[in-house]
Structure 1
Amino acid sequence: MNLNVEVISDEIVKPFSPTAGGLRHRLSFLDQLTPSHYNHLVYFYPKTCDTEADKITISDRLKHSVSNALTYFYPLAGRITEDQLFVDCNDEGIPFVEVRVKCQLSDVLNNLVPRELNKLLPFEVHSVNKVLAGIQLNVFDCGGIAIGVCVSHKIGDALSFFSFVKTWAAIARGETALTAPDFESASLFPPQDVSGFKQRIKLSNKEQIITKRFVFGAAEVEVIRRKYSENSNQTRPSRVEALSAFIWEHLITAKGAKSRLGTLFTITHLVNIRTKIDPPLPESSFGNIYSLALTILSSSDGNVVTGIRDSIKAVNSEYVKKLRDGYNHFDKLNELEARYGKDAIVPFAVTSLCRFPRYEADFGWGKPVWAGSGDLGIKNVATFMDTVNGDGIEAWITLDKEEMEKFGSDEGMLAHVNALKSF
């Protein structure tokens, strides 16, 4: 459905306590390699604002608590420098936008259109912006609300995003036992000279790509895992490994790519490396503390799951040592393109947010009934998220429009998609 939104107010929220004057947050080498788009999520809460007084109370609570949260996450209230090497922690603050949405919250949840969800966010996902975070409070006609949150990927990964939201929500609930984030990633991954480095992510024509959400219930995921367990005759694959292989196989069918001679396929998984550093880092470590697991396949490769598992296992402590010494995790992809040519490579990237604290955003009126993404605008990408009950997986997939029509009507794929609502 087409969302009709009206901006009611737009203000800047600053940290409750001032940050030390002249403080700068240094970006790490991994931050330098990360694109500048916004990590984002929209949290939905039903029957929250029954009166105008409720709207004011909730708005004030969110602004006051995020102001306190920015005291802990002070770089988010700063501005990134032109050279993108530092954040000036100058307390300029973050936008807090309040919007009225001219429909019922249930209308959105029952007729999900990922691109329309972007209207519930404070920024364009790929806008070039020195501002590192933003909040949008969306109030529906029914009194339900949606809180859209954006945090720049340039300064932090998905776990950093959830760490910020979790702390903000805890403050809103009145909790005082909080875990302060650690901003020392640049000491582990010192910045490098990346003057010749070009970001790999390129936006596609919005009209030519589409994002759709496919829900795989617990039973369907189990069937897929069993299928790949039988094929590999090895260790039982994880949910993410099996579903990645399953979607990849149907994706290249939709592309008609498997029949092309000389075609090379790559599957990239983003891997959290906090636990692979010696000593391991806590989840509260803020920054882009992840790397890439690259699986390279030819059209004749039959055991996709084994390739995925091996590439993820290869992102180990020894690999992390290479990263700390300045190894660029995009080098292998660049080498493949130089050797085979871009047109001969069909890429597919997977980000898994499964097991992340997506539903811990309780600001004092309960956990969200659902939390979802928007349209990322980058094709050949899948984002996995747990369903509300935690058993199944939502796969948010972005493809070329024509390819999505084929992929979305693939009977072999749809046979494993749960037709039931996940909220």
Structure 2
Amino acid sequence: MALEVEVISQEIIKPSSPTPDHLRHYQFSFLDQTVAPQIYVFLIIFFEFNGKTQPNITEISNHLKKSLAEVLTLFYPLAGRAHDNLYIDCNDQGIPFLEAHVNNCKLSDVLRNPIPDELTKLVPFELDDGDNNIPFGVQLNAFECGGFAIGQCLSHKIADGLSALMFSRAWAATARRALGDHQVEIQHPEFVSATLFPPKLFAQTSVGLAKNKSVTKRFVFDASSIEHLRAKYVDLDRPTRIETLSAFIWSRLVAVTKEEANHDHQKLHNVRHVVNLRRRFDPPLPPHYFGNLITVADSTPSLLNTGEECYGLAKQVRGAINKIDKGYIKKLQEGADDHMSSDSSVTSAFTSLCNFPLYDDNDFGWGRPSWVSLGMPGLDFNNVVIFVDTRDADGIEAYITSAEEVLTKLESDTEFLQRVRPSWVSSGLNLTHQPTTIGNINTRIDLV
């Protein structure tokens, strides 16, 4: 269903307290400059109408705006304005807060069959608007049934995916505390990425956006399916869920594309995993360090023509990630970055936001959300996969971005379909099972 979303108001929310003069200049780090493209990541948090305890949409809006102003004092760069690929002027100009009505459907309709390219109407910015110097924006969407959705857009130039979730968690905690939950902890961010990775004096990023139009579809793997796949990776002692699914999905993407007439069998197949650097420092950095604190680990699967290559890939992936140690980080701090895409290889990229309490941490005072959707426009290659936990944390949602014809073939691949399950979003509704995928998206997904 095509969503009819009407923006009815817009205002600017500024931090409730002014930013001190000594914090007015927020310098981009080397990783901000080189890893992050000038696009927005988005997070949409859906809440079904609960009738008895939920306030009306005006009260919800006022509560969100007040708590947003408070949390912006902690995340002050988000209320500033970016200057090229160099820094943010933390001038407290504020962030746009839009209010919108969804006129033609109930929230339950969206949860039955969410179509990601339609969901982008629930966020305030065009996701690939690289010329926009506003780091952050919010759109509150009211549905006819009384349900609502909070759409957030955060510039990738300032933050990776974990940082985006960090901000949303702090905002939700601030909102709960204002409603009387004084036990909730509000974690303060640390803005030290430019100290860890000193910036370079150039204004243009080396990361490009995808030139070819791609689509994204969502597939769900339940726990039993993941465990069945794990048993096949006998070369690695107890592979993780992400190692397992990465290897399996990569093998099926290769399988459905290898017969294409224009497929170059001489090209190497490169597998790329986004790695959270916070855990790789010695000693590890706290999780509340804000910024683009990520790199990538590359591995090149061998035995490509045997049909068994995916069973060795999990071990190769772990080995590549283990090479990102304090020695690697030291070279990265010196400005060395050798992970550039090559025309001689076909790259598949994977990133995971699993094991993050996405639902518990996005309780703004009215209970856990019914569903949390996220997305990130893609880089200069197809075959990008993002993993997130399902609402019950029992399975994993895989958002796979590629050319439309590739995903069409994947949906017809017997071996792939044996591992995915029919999915629906809201456990709070008595819904019938829906098709395995939930549509496609023309705004492409990035890594973290």
Q: Shared fold by TM > 0.5? A: yes
- Whether 2:212 is the aligned partner of 1:211: answer no
Inter-partner Cα distance in structure 1 for 2:3 and 2:378: 18
- Whether 2:419 is the aligned partner of 1:410: answer no
Residue 110 of structure 2 is matched in structure 1 by 108
Inter-partner Cα distance in structure 2 for 1:36 and 1:48: 38
The residue type equivalent to 1:256 in the other structure is K
Residue 340 of structure 2 is matched in structure 1 by 333
Residue 376 of structure 1 is matched in structure 2 by 377
- The question of whether the paired residues in 2 share the 8 Å contact of 1:79 and 1:131 is answered with yes
- The question of whether the paired residues in 2 share the 8 Å contact of 1:122 and 1:149 is answered with yes
**Helix, strand or coil for the counterpart of 1:333?**
coil
Shift of 1:363: 0.6
Cα–Cα, structure 1 residues 197 and 97, in superposed 2: closer, same or farther, change >3 Å? closer
Structure with the bigger percentage of helix:
1
Inter-partner Cα distance in structure 2 for 1:357 and 1:36: 27
- Whether 2:98 is the aligned partner of 1:97: answer yes
**Helix, strand or coil for the counterpart of 2:154?**
strand
Inter-partner Cα distance in structure 2 for 1:184 and 1:244: 32
Residue 256 of structure 2 is matched in structure 1 by 254
1:7-406 correspondence to structure 2 within 5 Å? 7-21=7-21, 23-33=24-34, 34-47=36-49, 54-82=56-84, 84-102=85-103, 103-128=105-130, 129-174=132-177, 177-194=185-202, 198-205=206-213, 209-228=214-233, 230=234, 232=235, 234-256=236-258, 260-298=264-302, 299-300=304-305, 302=309, 303-328=312-337, 331-334=338-341, 337=342, 342=343, 344-359=344-359, 360-374=361-375, 376=377, 379-406=382-409
- The question of whether the paired residues in 2 share the 8 Å contact of 1:48 and 1:145 is answered with no
The residue type equivalent to 1:316 in the other structure is D
Residue 437 of structure 2 is matched in structure 1 by none
Inter-partner Cα distance in structure 1 for 2:277 and 2:412: 37
Cα–Cα, structure 1 residues 401 and 50, in superposed 2: closer, same or farther, change >3 Å? farther
- The question of whether the paired residues in 2 share the 8 Å contact of 1:48 and 1:54 is answered with no
* Structure 2: runs of 5 or more not aligned: 427-448
**Helix, strand or coil for the counterpart of 1:181?**
coil
Shift of 1:406: 0.3
* Structure 1: runs of 5 or more not aligned: none
- The question of whether the paired residues in 1 share the 8 Å contact of 2:222 and 2:395 is answered with yes
The residue type equivalent to 1:272 in the other structure is N
- The question of whether the paired residues in 1 share the 8 Å contact of 2:39 and 2:377 is answered with no
Cα–Cα, structure 1 residues 203 and 3, in superposed 2: closer, same or farther, change >3 Å? farther
Inter-partner Cα distance in structure 1 for 2:259 and 2:334: 37
- Tell me how large the CA RMSD over aligned residues is: 2.1
Residue 5 of structure 1 is matched in structure 2 by 5
Inter-partner Cα distance in structure 2 for 1:86 and 1:9: 30
Inter-partner Cα distance in structure 2 for 1:85 and 1:49: 48
Shift of 1:420: 3.8
The residue type equivalent to 1:351 in the other structure is T
State the number of aligned residues. Answer: 407
- The question of whether the paired residues in 2 share the 8 Å contact of 1:115 and 1:374 is answered with no
- The question of whether the paired residues in 2 share the 8 Å contact of 1:173 and 1:364 is answered with yes
**Helix, strand or coil for the counterpart of 1:297?**
coil
Inter-partner Cα distance in structure 2 for 1:287 and 1:36: 14
Residue 440 of structure 2 is matched in structure 1 by none
Shift of 1:278: 2.8
Cα–Cα, structure 1 residues 402 and 222, in superposed 2: closer, same or farther, change >3 Å? same
CA-to-aligned-CA distance 1:77-103 (integer Å, 9 cap, x gap): 001113x21100000111111111121
- The question of whether the paired residues in 1 share the 8 Å contact of 2:378 and 2:384 is answered with no
Identity level (%):
44
Cα–Cα, structure 1 residues 375 and 269, in superposed 2: closer, same or farther, change >3 Å? closer
Inter-partner Cα distance in structure 2 for 1:375 and 1:158: 9
Inter-partner Cα distance in structure 2 for 1:92 and 1:362: 27
CA-to-aligned-CA distance 1:29-86 (integer Å, 9 cap, x gap): 111111121121111100058999711100000001011010000000001113x211
Q: What is the TM-score normalised by the length of structure 1? A: 0.91
Inter-partner Cα distance in structure 2 for 1:290 and 1:249: 25
- The question of whether the paired residues in 2 share the 8 Å contact of 1:118 and 1:374 is answered with no
Cα–Cα, structure 1 residues 98 and 48, in superposed 2: closer, same or farther, change >3 Å? farther
